[in-house]
Structure 1
Amino acid sequence: MELINTKDVARKNGLQCVTFHLGDEIYGIDMRYLQEIIRVPDVVKVPGTPSYIRGLANLRGTILPIVDCRLRLGLKRNEDTEASRVIVLTAGNKKLGYVVDQVVGVISIHEKEIEKGSGSETAADFVEGIAKIEKGKKLIMLLDAKKLLNFRDGETIKEEVEVSKNNIIDIVQESEKKNTDANGEQLEMISFKIGEEEYGIEVGSVQEIVRFSGEVSEVPNTPPYVLGVISLRNKVLPIVSLRRLFNMEECSFDERSRIVVTSISENGFTYAVGLKVDLVLEVLRIDKVAVTPVPPLLKTKDSEEISGICKLNEGSRLVYILDPKKLFSYRLRESADILRAQGGDEEMKVVDTKDEEEQLVTFLVDGIECAFSIEDVREIIRPTEIIAVPKAPDFVEGVINLRGTIVPVIDLRKKFGLKEKNRDDRNRIVIVEISGRHTGLIVDSVKEVVKIGHSQIEDAPEILMDEIDQRFIKGIAKFDETNRMIILLSVEEVLSGKEKKELMAIEEADN
């Protein structure tokens, strides 16, 4: 599974790709860049963005731009179905979600099966090769993940310390719907290495795979194979070293180390435990008849967690299948209470006492929730008579007389290129100052005044910076508990320099 493997292993075992449908064509993306696969979420639209950017989603507290893969590749738009999914790609500090028609599965492609070239003219910028598999009967368009992530020419990936979820279970389940072996039952496993030996755990027992290189907090009075605990998305996760458990020399975390998070259920308790492994290899799908029992001679008290041996490549590759339930029933019985206590639902919350709050005036524009800082808002009024101004820009509705002051009025729907609609009694005019001059901004409705900590406001995602002149977006305010997101606008940047001059010309003409 190349997302969590080294380049050397990639060359040895072939390119691991997650494959998916867009119409009748099959596309593939290098697993190195896959974080997870999710259902199509609700999004918050961003004004002024290209049609292929659907909007922003709140993914467990992280702001995730959602892109329509069809439109990004220049294909025809299609309605989402029950099979539609979002493939979340990540590298360095970039993260994007691409909506695809249907996930097929994970496959290994050998270098000799790949031809350099491109697909259709519209997708040529993103296709880096074509894989011919099954003796050339099936074609897979291989997409360049770096280009999908908006990496510029010459830009390198900066690896950061991160905790990333790789929803392997979802991948396998999606492909399993259409790829059932007619000859018998199949076994899906996550394979990994401990030392020189290869092990596997059934996908159903794996919650996620975590890349982690931070500090592990030690827990007093625990056996040596319990390394300690980490905070995983604000929850406590105990970490067990399989090297120590198997009486092998311990090694430190490196760029290849991973934590395989398993869920253990016993005696009415369910708790998660992270198993530290040296290297995760791939997702294996094999016939159960290929699994042989452990020979009686090898069965000992210290090996009861091995439920079977899988022979691959005509017996030259052996994978020992671990049963987490037996692992915890025998080898970790003495630590079960400790692990349950450390791995419960308790959350580790960090409170920043210096986190200053900001008050925002929130409002709707074509269903998009936006906000200005309350300091930028002079007043909010109901719509009044607007006098049209000849030769004014399209987004300028005209001017109003506000207690003897002539105030130009801008329709934010028109300014952001959104669909126009007839005004009703919910419309309001928000009076702000732009370049020292009072200006009215027509919005669909004003919602409320909210307080939010500065730590809850993030910069606009990089793809928005690349695709639009988004200086008018100061940031994205997120509310983790409700998945609510608000686009925080900059009053001074709502208009470009040229538009400000045009607005000044209107005022001078009126004066």
Structure 2
Amino acid sequence: MSDNTLETESIYVSFGVGAETYGIGIEDVRQIIRVPKITRVPKMPDYVLGMTNLRGEVLPLVDLSMRLGYKHPCVHGEDTRVIVVDKQGILTGLIVESVNEVKSTEMHDIDKFPDILNAGVDKKYISGILKVGKGEDVSIIQLINTDEIIDIDSAGKYLEQNSALIKKEKKEDVVAGAIDEKRFISFNIKEQEYAIEIHKINEIIWMPEVTSVPGLPSYVLGIFSLRGEVIPLLSLHSRFGMTLNRDDETTRVVIVDIGNVMVAFAADKVNAVVSVDESLIELPPKVYEDQEGSEVSAVLKLEDGKRLVMALEPENLVDDAELEALKSVAEQSKGGTHMNYDVTNTADEEKQIVTFQIENEHYGIYIQKVQEINRYTNVTKIPKTPKFVEGIINLRGEVIPLIDLRSRFELETKPRDEFTRVIIINLQNMKVGFVVDWVDEVLRIRQEDIDPVPPVLGAAVNSEFIEGVINFDKNEKMILLLDVEELFSRAEIKKLENLQEG
């Protein structure tokens, strides 16, 4: 027996990375799966590919080739697999090029890792070598030290430091300027732009699968289910004498609460969140004003009066008899089962999130931090500013620095197009604009739907700007919830303040 021999026995899963064969103790392996859909996470080490949804759990994915110190990632092919490792309750997915077999070892079969073997690999990641076969047919399996690969010490410290904060709700900031301004979400019905006050909107979603119900008025498109609630879908197009194109990718569904009944209507596209000074909100034209219960409650005069937006009153979208009929349809569609739904309690737990895309990944910001959403236009470039500062814009007399989130997340630049939007954020004592590829929707979610950042990601780099992960099991979609306060250092915030001060 060699002095190098470690006295142990175990069962190992062997797998390939490049030209080498490695092994992981079966006690650390929860399961082996095919490569799933990956959600990329910005500003991660090159070996962290992102994360995915594993039956409701957020699973970080690590390219084992890059993690071991090779200069090339794993080659993805038909045999590529993810080995899900469970270390002290911390799950990590290790991407490997192929899984070979399960090896059972006997006492004294494992040797220490020779210093001259496989110089391309950091030795701390290898706990020993397993010799398989006899004579000239001996093959070598390098055994992975999963504690080092996952950095279990750092991950454990991260968990310990953040365990008290994981489910702790942050105080919702009061939006600056809310006393003299009202906030609306604007949308289009054909060419006309309408808006509803933001606090009257429960949620904005993509067009769901709608079930037609016979015997309903023509303006009712049908019903759909959302988190156990049956919601009737109205066509304002029909009400306003127009036709809805349901197949358009920009179509959205706006959900409002009318008399404690959830009602939805379709819009051709959602434009922006706008803050409107009360001096720019006027009574509707007399033709609307004279109609009792008119849908139009006010006219918003935007862009120096060049852009007129009709503000709608949700309570007047349907009359009392129609509302009772819609309520009856929703109740009957539940099969007569009444949900135990405490509106007061759930409202305290629910959060509204503005979601958007950058490089096909989905991000979210608490709506309390969002002042408004505008089109990308009239940007003034400023020399000698940080790389991520695109320039400044003039927003109703206020200088707003523009942050290119692509640059901030170290992604390639992308030409601005008709979908590019600027999200105006309240950041400490100032406003800044985030340039994003696309604004998706406004979601209403429960606090319990927000998962913490996996400790492996939290320990790998400074990921404090990711506050949590909204994990949609059904459509395999993940939303990274951003903490805008943590996106910038103190020095960077000072530079942004200097830009505003001119």
- For residues 362-403 of structure 1, the C-alpha deviation after alignment (integer angstroms, 9 at most, x for no partner) is 000111100101111000000111111121000001110001
Given candidates 413, 420, 424, the residue that maps to 1:431 is 424
Query: Residues of 2 paired with 1:498 and 1:153: CA distance?
Result: 27
Given candidates 409, 413, 433, the residue that maps to 1:420 is 413
- Show the counterpart of 2:456: 463
Q: Verify: 1:405 aligned to 2:398, yes or no.
A: yes
**Cα-Cα RMSD:** 2.3
Q: Which secondary structure state, in structure 2, belongs to the residue aligned with residue 125 of structure 1?
A: helix
| Offset, 1:73 | 0.8
- Show the counterpart of 2:68: 73
| Offset, 1:351 | 8.8
| Offset, 1:154 | 12
8 A Cα contact 2:155 2:459, kept in partner: no
* CA gap 1:437/1:154 in 2 versus in 1, 3 angstroms: closer
8 A Cα contact 1:459 1:476, kept in partner: yes
- Show the counterpart of 1:222: none
Q: How does 1:155-174 map to 2 (within 5 A)?
A: none
8 A Cα contact 2:465 2:482, kept in partner: yes
Q: Which secondary structure state, in structure 2, belongs to the residue aligned with residue 152 of structure 1?
A: helix
* CA gap 1:111/1:504 in 2 versus in 1, 3 angstroms: farther
Query: Residues of 2 paired with 1:494 and 1:138: CA distance?
Result: 49
Which stretch shows the higher mean deviation, 146-155 or 411-420? 146-155
- For residues 176-198 of structure 1, the C-alpha deviation after alignment (integer angstroms, 9 at most, x for no partner) is xxxxxxxxxxxxxxxxxxxxxxx
| Offset, 1:149 | 2.4
| Offset, 1:72 | 0.8
8 A Cα contact 1:377 1:431, kept in partner: yes
- Show the counterpart of 1:151: 152
Query: Residues of 1 paired with 2:130 and 2:156: CA distance?
Result: 26
Q: Which secondary structure state, in structure 2, belongs to the residue aligned with residue 65 of structure 1?
A: strand
- Show the counterpart of 1:358: 351
- Show the counterpart of 2:87: 91
8 A Cα contact 2:353 2:443, kept in partner: yes
Query: Residues of 1 paired with 2:155 and 2:374: CA distance?
Result: 51
- Show the counterpart of 2:109: 113
Aligned length: 307
Amino acid at match of 2:493: K
Which stretch shows the higher mean deviation, 491-500 or 353-362? 353-362
Q: How does 1:319-330 map to 2 (within 5 A)?
A: none
- Show the counterpart of 1:58: 53
| Offset, 1:357 | 1.4
* CA gap 1:154/1:433 in 2 versus in 1, 3 angstroms: closer
TM-score by length of 1: 0.57
TM-score by length of 2: 0.58
Identity of aligned residues (%): 36
- Show the counterpart of 1:135: 134
Q: Which secondary structure state, in structure 1, belongs to the residue aligned with residue 108 of structure 2?
A: helix
Given candidates 14, 35, 41, the residue that maps to 1:40 is 35
| Offset, 1:60 | 0.4
- Show the counterpart of 1:482: 475
* CA gap 1:11/1:35 in 2 versus in 1, 3 angstroms: farther
Q: How does 1:19-34 map to 2 (within 5 A)?
A: 19-34=14-29
8 A Cα contact 1:61 1:483, kept in partner: no
Query: Residues of 2 paired with 1:151 and 1:390: CA distance?
Result: 44
Query: Residues of 2 paired with 1:461 and 1:154: CA distance?
Result: 9
Given candidates 476, 492, 502, the residue that maps to 1:499 is 492
8 A Cα contact 2:155 2:458, kept in partner: no
Q: Verify: 1:389 aligned to 2:382, yes or no.
A: yes
| Offset, 1:44 | 0.7
Q: How does 1:229-308 map to 2 (within 5 A)?
A: none
Amino acid at match of 2:63: D
8 A Cα contact 2:470 2:481, kept in partner: yes
Query: Residues of 2 paired with 1:37 and 1:453: CA distance?
Result: 31
Q: Which secondary structure state, in structure 1, belongs to the residue aligned with residue 440 of structure 2?
A: strand
* CA gap 1:443/1:500 in 2 versus in 1, 3 angstroms: same
Which stretch shows the higher mean deviation, 408-417 or 105-114? 105-114
8 A Cα contact 2:154 2:459, kept in partner: no
| Offset, 1:79 | 3.1
Query: Residues of 1 paired with 2:34 and 2:341: CA distance?
Result: 33
Amino acid at match of 1:145: T
Q: Which secondary structure state, in structure 2, belongs to the residue aligned with residue 122 of structure 1?
A: coil
Amino acid at match of 1:437: M
- For residues 402-438 of structure 1, the C-alpha deviation after alignment (integer angstroms, 9 at most, x for no partner) is 0100000010000110111111111000000112101
- For residues 4-24 of structure 1, the C-alpha deviation after alignment (integer angstroms, 9 at most, x for no partner) is xxxxxx988x21101101122
8 A Cα contact 1:429 1:441, kept in partner: yes
- For residues 202-244 of structure 1, the C-alpha deviation after alignment (integer angstroms, 9 at most, x for no partner) is xxxxxxxxxxxxxxxxxxxxxxxxxxxxxxxxxxxxxxxxxxx
- Show the counterpart of 1:122: 121
Query: Residues of 2 paired with 1:360 and 1:72: CA distance?
Result: 34
Q: Verify: 1:472 aligned to 2:469, yes or no.
A: no
8 A Cα contact 1:90 1:149, kept in partner: no
Query: Residues of 1 paired with 2:56 and 2:489: CA distance?
Result: 32
Query: Residues of 2 paired with 1:470 and 1:480: CA distance?
Result: 23
* Higher relative contact order, structure no. (Cα contacts within 8 Å, ≥ 6 residues apart): 2
- Show the counterpart of 2:445: 452
Structure 1: which 5+ residue stretches go unaligned?
1-9, 159-349
Structure 2: which 5+ residue stretches go unaligned?
1-5, 160-338
Q: Which secondary structure state, in structure 2, belongs to the residue aligned with residue 504 of structure 1?
A: helix
8 A Cα contact 1:89 1:149, kept in partner: no
Query: Residues of 2 paired with 1:97 and 1:383: CA distance?
Result: 39
